[in-house]
Structure 1
């Protein structure tokens, strides 16, 4: 029976770990907020034998595969050291699979430290959001040794529908960052265009109806704007702070590779600004509100009674 540890029971990590709470796995979980891990074990422990670890060291003891899912790579690196850290107990031959949307530089440093102990490492950030995690349908972008990927593939298949080997250590992190930078560009650019159209007398719902059957469409225009912006719902599913972090990683990557990247760099600055203005708890789509403030208009606008009947 594969011995698995899952560290990081956040909004995406919890449903990911839930897919591993099954009889064929010996699962141990740990979370920085102990109450969340305790609740997880209370829900799944009796039926599936899931156990709670008090520390990362306890979570890693005698494990074959360790899955981490934390906000940033520094958080993962912080789990390694000290008497309660993973390196105190992780056995040689284990594999750490980091599903954090991390940065390539830190992932390579973690991989080197683990390799010195005979422990494998894969960066494996995920895409698909909370709904994808709940459905077990995430896309997983993997960087590292392909042989290690094949060893852990059955575990990843529990919560991932599409598993792509992207290259060496850091390749998964790099691809995830660029993907999210494109998401940010689509949100900001669509918002700018719609604010301009509203001020020119074109309703946003009409504009999106045309855009979404034309060449300007994107996931943002097809899903995020109709469901969240026009309705002014702005559900909090993915923090703006995390998108800011991801766009920054993509901008750093371009600079490291000496790529002329004015659009990436500008997008990184715009999302830093939105993050500063809206705070740590804002959803990523709420960045539209900054565009509206700067443009002096509202997407969707206000309709008079005649239009709403």
Structure 2
């Protein structure tokens, strides 16, 4: 934080899911303190009304968001963002900035930015990492693609929910970094599960083995935060859907193929996450991807 402020008359937030709800809440708290409004819209109007009642935002129709200086979107895929842009494009004022926090496709970001630029509207792709807890604490990692001037204008608002907010390159770069972040998360989760499955088949006690691994060089976010809390306990709390992780891994693989990079490990992780989705379903928490490893090894990681 600690960046110079840029006055914003009104901000708007599209998409009040697990991440969008606390992110929009942080934005509303910030702007309410300045006597400014945060409009919120969700496909289910009741969610917007509940958000307004709890956090002091203003529930609005999608078309009413054309009055905002900054429009945030946080939706499942780039396709849903396209739909919202289609409905709003002819109504947006020049100088508006659209900030897409969806885990989207870099190619889609570039297409969306070009469409908006023709109407005088700026665009940033600004996906986030850190989960709902990070959004509630205002400590998300925000990776931003776009030009420097637009980034500077939006930074005070991005700072309301971000602890680390960095421009990583031109439009599309934020989505590219997020895709790599998530495929790495999936790779780490599956590799830890494979290692533990092999240990269990050797008669090793998994709980102390994991403690030792986490104190050593084999540790990762997944091993330190997901395995003991969700896998060992079998309490797979739904926070980030496996289908979305598989989608993001697929985006990472598309990007790798587009630039003809060599990334066999990322490709294997993307394939395994798709297989896990087909095996256990896309609506479960992403940590349930370990069930694929368990089935292949005929063990339970508990």
Tell me what 1:270 maps to: 272
d(CA) in 2 for partners of 1:9 and 1:223?
Answer: 25
Which of 241, 245, 248 is equivalent to 2:247?
A: 245
Which of 41, 47, 51 is equivalent to 1:40?
A: 51
Tell me what 1:77 maps to: 82
Tell me what 2:63 maps to: 57
- The SS at the match of 1:79 is helix
Task: Give the unaligned 5+ runs of structure 2.
Answer: 1-7
- Residue 98 of structure 1 deviates from its aligned partner by 0.4
Greater Cα radius of gyration, structure 1 or 2 = 1
- The SS at the match of 2:85 is coil
1:239-291 Cα offsets, whole Å, 9 max, x none, are 00110011101111110110122111111111111111222321000111111
Note if 1:16 corresponds to 2:27. Answer: no
Tell me what 1:89 maps to: 91
- Residue 88 of structure 1 deviates from its aligned partner by 2.8
Tell me what 1:307 maps to: none
d(CA) in 1 for partners of 2:173 and 2:251?
Answer: 12
Tell me what 1:116 maps to: 118
For residues 1-309 of structure 1, what are the structure 2 equivalents within 5 Å?
1-22=8-29, 23=32, 24=34, 25-45=36-56, 50-54=57-61, 56-59=62-65, 61-81=66-86, 85-300=87-302
- Residue 62 of structure 1 deviates from its aligned partner by 2.1
Query: What is the aligned residue count?
Result: 291
Tell me what 2:4 maps to: none
- Residue 63 of structure 1 deviates from its aligned partner by 1.3
d(CA) in 2 for partners of 1:213 and 1:161?
Answer: 26
- The SS at the match of 1:117 is coil
d(CA) in 1 for partners of 2:261 and 2:124?
Answer: 26
Q: Which runs of 4+ in 1 moved over 4 A?
A: none
- Residue 231 of structure 1 deviates from its aligned partner by 1.3
d(CA) in 2 for partners of 1:244 and 1:111?
Answer: 25
- Residue 235 of structure 1 deviates from its aligned partner by 0.8
- 8 Å Cα contact 1:128-1:138 kept in structure 2: yes
- The SS at the match of 1:252 is helix
